[in-house]
Amino acid sequence: MKGKFICLIGIDGSGKTTLIRETIKRLNKKGIQLRYVWGSYELCLLKPIIVWGKRLFLGNKNPKKDYKSYIFSINKVGENKFLSICYQTAVIIEYVFQIFFKIALPLIMRQNVISDRYIYDAVINMKVNLCLKEQTMYRIIAFLSKIVPIPDLIIFVDVPEEIAFSRKTDTPSIDYLKIRKDLFKKIAECHGAILLDGTKPIEELYHLMEKSIQSL
């Protein structure tokens, strides 16, 4: 026996967090308790290692902390096969521990968990940033699926990139969203995700969310 596990995926600005928070409130009133979790990978223990690696391998004595500098460094790591594999391995190990405490443990304690993002988002970012092949992306997801909880329900919130871009002030570019949206669509199809059209009226989306979760 364990709790139910739901995760929402989609590009930045698709409205996942808003949908999750309002759905939790509505279902709580109906006696269905959901635990909110940010389910994507968070750079924690590896942060000092990456900073040190940038200085050692890239000759960057004063690395900037902005997004472009970070992605430039990761792209450079991806060009080196040995460094790329080391980075992928380190991220996966750290991420599995994060998932255990944030998601697996509450599920074992029979709590229902709804996750804003999950392994699919994390691996898509790894694929894009390290310039990995799609086949490699699917292999990493397949590997992770064997050792972390598999969602009982995956919901893909789909919106046009232009709308998503207009909602977020910290998104680097529309191209950033376009690349990821194509990958999300493929993953959603592979894993039987429920598709939500994020351009529909918000009340309709809330109703569909509630109905999908209550059917589990």
> What per-residue confidence (pLDDT) applies to 64?
44
> What per-residue confidence (pLDDT) applies to 85?
85
> What per-residue confidence (pLDDT) applies to 78?
59
Mean pLDDT of the chain: 86
**Three-state SS string across 129-179, please?**
HCCCCHHHHHHHHHHHHHHCCCCCEEEEEECCHHHHHHHCCCCCCHHHHHH
Q: Closest Cα partner for 83 from 51, 101, 114, 57? A: 57
> What per-residue confidence (pLDDT) applies to 168?
86
Fold of 5-214: Rossmann fold (3.40.50)
Residues 11-29 have pLDDT tens digits of 999 999 999 999 999 999 9
Question: Does residue 92 register a pLDDT over 90?
Answer: yes
Which residues partner with 38 through β-bridges? 116
Least confident of 49-53, 60-64, 191-195, 200-204: 60-64
Q: Closest Cα partner for 130 from 68, 74, 50? A: 74
Least confident of 21-30, 84-93, 175-184: 84-93
pTM of the prediction?
0.85
> What per-residue confidence (pLDDT) applies to 111?
95
Question: Does residue 178 register a pLDDT over 60?
Answer: yes
The answer to whether the CB of 7 falls within 8 A of the CB of 115 is yes
Mean pLDDT in residue range 75-103: 83
Question: Does residue 36 register a pLDDT over 70?
Answer: yes
